[in-house]
A = this chain, B = another copy of it.
Amino acid sequence: MDYYHQPIIRQYFSQDSHFLQKMLRKSCFTIRNQLVEQFKCLEQQSESRIQLLQDLQEFFRRKAEIELEYSRSLEKLAERFSSKIRSSREHQQFKKDQHLLSSVNCWYLVLNQTRRESRDHATLSDIYTNNVIVRLAQISEDIIRLFKKSKDIGIQMHEELVKVTNELYTVMKTYHMYHTESISAESKLKDAEKQEEKQFSKSGDLNVNLLRHDDRQPRRGFVRKIEKMKEKRQAKYSENKLKCTKARNDYLLNLTATNAVVAKYYIHDVSDMIDCCDLGYHASLARTLRTYLSAEYNLETSRHEGLDIIENAVDNLDSRSDKHKIMDMHNQVFCPPMRFEYLPHMGDEVCQVSAQQPVQTELLTRYHQLQSRLATLKIENEEVRKTLDATMQTLQDMLTVEDFDMSDAFHHSRSTESIKSVASEFYMSKLNVAKRRANQQETEMFYFSKFKEYLNGSNLIIKLQAKHDLLKQTLGEGERAECGTTRPPTLPPKPQKMRKPRPRSVYNHKLFNGNMESFIKVPLVVHSFDDMDFLSCKSLINMH
Contact = CB atoms under 8 A, between A and B. Distances in A.
Copies in the complex: 2
B294 A404 contact: yes
Interface stretch (A197-205, A247-255, A375-383): A247-255
Q: Name the residue among A156, A336, A490 with the largest chain B CB count within 10 angstroms.
A: A336
Given A253-B470, A269-B455, A520-B267, A346 B15 contact: yes
21 contacts: A5-B498, A9-B498, A13-B343, A14-B349, A20-B343, A41-B334, A56-B110, A63-B114, A69-B73, A146-B444, A241-B490, A249-B359, A255-B342, A258-B340, A266-B336, A267-B520, A274-B327, A287-B404, A296-B303, A298-B410, A301-B410
Interface stretch (A207-215, A222-230, A526-534): A526-534
Interface in A112-128: 114, 116, 119-120, 123, 126-127
A490 to B, nearest CB: 8
Interface string A511-539: 00000100110001011110010000000
A466 B256 contact: yes
A185 interface: no
B20 A336 contact: no
Interface in A366-421: 395-396, 398-407, 409-410, 412, 417, 420-421
Given A49-B103, A270-B327, 6 more contacts: A5-B498, A20-B343, A256-B469, A256-B526, A258-B340, A293-B311
B323 A249 contact: no
B262 A406 contact: no
Contact of A532 (B263, B314, B455): B263
Q: Name the residue among A276, A284, A526 with the largest chain B CB count within 10 angstroms.
A: A526
Contact of A260 (B84, B261, B465): B465
A166 interface: no
Interface residues of A, number: 231
Given A66-B74, A307-B300, A340 B24 contact: yes
A233 interface: no
Interface stretch (A173-181, A188-196, A479-487): A173-181
A240 interface: no
Contacts of A467: 253, 256-257
Contact of A326 (B45, B114, B130, B462): B45
A31 B339 CA distance: 11
A99 to B, nearest CB: 12
Interface string A53-77: 0011011001100100110011001
Contacts of A341: 4
A502 B221 CA distance: 64
A440 B139 CA distance: 12
Contact of A138 (B145, B264, B437): B437
A539 to B, nearest CB: 9
Contacts of A1: 337-338, 543
A504 interface: no
Given A20-B343, A106-B285, A395-B279, A314 B333 contact: no
A307 B297 contact: yes
Interface string A298-319: 1111111101001100100111
B400 A271 contact: no
Contact of A264 (B48, B80, B253, B459): B459
A282 interface: yes
A123 B176 contact: no
A358 B242 CA distance: 8
B337 A34 contact: yes
Contacts of A437: 138
B282 A130 contact: no
Contacts of A264: 458-459, 462, 524, 526
Contacts of A501: 5
A127 B409 contact: yes
Contact of A282 (B318, B345, B441): B318
A289 interface: yes
A467 B130 CA distance: 58
Contacts of A343: 13, 15, 20, 23-24, 172
Nearest to A247: B345
A13 to B, nearest CB: 7
B48 A63 contact: no
B410 A345 contact: no
Contact of A520 (B271, B293, B327, B348): B271
Q: Name the residue among A77, A138, A249, A447 with the largest chain B CB count within 10 angstroms.
A: A249
